[in-house]
Amino acid sequence: MFTFEIKHESGAARRGIFTTPHGPVETPAFMPVGTAGTVKGVTPAQLRATGAQMILANTYHLQLRPSADVVADLGGLHRFMAWDGPILTDSGGYQVFSLAEINRITDDGVEFRSHIDGASLRLDARSATEVQNKLGADVIMAFDQCPPLPCDTETLRVVVERTIRWARVCKETHARDDQALFGIVQGGIDAGLRRHCAEALIEIGFDGYAIGGLSVGESHAEMAAILPAITAALPKNRPRYLMGVGMPRDILAAVQAGVDLFDCVLPTRNGRNSQAFTRTGLLRMRNEKHRLDAGPLERDCDCETCRNFSRGYIRHLFNAGEMLGPTLTSIHNLRFFQRFLARIRELIPAGNPATIVNEFPIAAMESNTDNEEVS
């Protein structure tokens, strides 16, 4: 049910097709994040219109509410979300990092204190896999521990060994042939630990391999330096997924290192906070300079927002507290990321994906959040 075929290569960068039970995904691909079973503020039809091929949902959040049993009773995650394309579910390992203040980690698993009502939720390698089997996504993730960076070597070593042990249990527990199981390589920015983790996961055997534990405190330069060492240790014939990384500059560096799949909350999180991505930087839509601007968010964008609404109108929506403002800006941002990845896919056969910075200067900016669009 799952195949991965590389169509073109340019250095380490590769363009391919990842085939799943719910359709093919052209890679490199960006997956919008639908944490609780919805990409915030947009309908599945609007999401599909942005060019999204595959989306992500989260085990921890869906198990808290409504629970995997409820999702299964309602027909599984695809029917529950009314999304007929491929879905990936994270295992909850990232919440081990992001919700560190409300969890307790042991070698056996993680005890969470619900961020909603304080109730206890336990996830371990076995239960996280069983929950994902019930949810029914096309791709499920092994349960891992995501450490913060910077992190001392001894702590990283403990995290890596724990992640490997948990990965073995996940593989033993996984019970559905119609779901691909990906292992997650941890090890911070320590190349030796990353290679050790990758080799151990390859020995266990997974359908794809993810790179976790980046974009958690390291610099762009540190990320760019470690990625080639990680991808070089991974099988060429399996998809590679860099988890939670979404800044255009980081995506470009990862593509050049041989990564195929990406996800991030940035398109909708920034959209809800009145920030629109453009080729040349971010637009801050509450700014006075947009008040009388009759032009679209981006002149060459074909999204629903840019075809129908002006900057002045969108600024008005945010300043009036209207929910349509975040929705329209999120639609544009989601389309921006799909356009960015689609252009990278076009440039790989041409031989130099790095030239995308000539068309998307934002991909060369040190800090996208510090750069107002040049217009």
CA-CA distance, 295 to 331, in Å (whole number)? 17
Boundaries of domain holding 337:
270-370
Catalytic residue list contains 84: no
Q: Helices in the chain by DSSP H: which ranges?
A: 44-49, 59-64, 68-73, 77-81, 93-98, 125-135, 153-173, 191-204, 220-232, 248-257, 266-272, 304-308, 311-319, 324-350
How many domains in the chain? 2
Q: Is residue 171 part of a domain?
A: yes
Say whether 90 is catalytic.
Answer: yes
Q: Which of 90, 124, 144, 260 is catalytic?
A: 90
Domain shared by 179 and 151, yes or no:
yes
**Together in a domain, 227 and 166:** yes
Q: What are phi and psi of 361, to 5 degrees?
A: -55, -25
For residue 181, what are the β-bridge partners?
A: 140
pTM of the model: 0.95
The answer on 252 and 148 residing in a single domain is yes
Tokens 């992500």 found at: 56
pLDDT digits (tens, 9 = 90+) for 125-163: 999 999 999 999 999 999 999 988 999 999 999 999 999
User: Catalytic residue among 69, 124, 263, 300, which?
Assistant: 263
What pLDDT was estimated at residue 96? 67
Q: Are 222 and 87 in a shared domain?
A: yes
Q: Which one is predicted more confidently, 105 or 16?
A: 16
Region for 23 from its dihedrals, namely left if φ exceeds 0, alpha if ψ lies in -120 to 50, beta otherwise? left
Residue 367 has a pLDDT of 59
Q: Which of 233, 242, 148 is nearest to 197 (CA)?
A: 233
In a domain, 11, yes or no: no
Query: What pLDDT is stored for residue 374 in this prediction?
Result: 41
Cα gap 210→202, rounded to integer Å: 12
Same domain, 118 and 87: yes
Which pLDDT does position 46 carry in this prediction?
98
DSSP 335: H
The answer to whether position 21 is within a domain reads: no
Tell me the β-bridge partners of 55.
Answer: 87
DSSP letter at 374?
A: P
What is the mean pLDDT of the segment spanning 75-91? 97
Q: What is the mean pLDDT of the chain?
A: 95
At 163 the three-state DSSP class reads helix
My answer on whether 199 and 311 are in the same domain is: no
Q: What is the mean pLDDT of residues 59-69?
A: 95
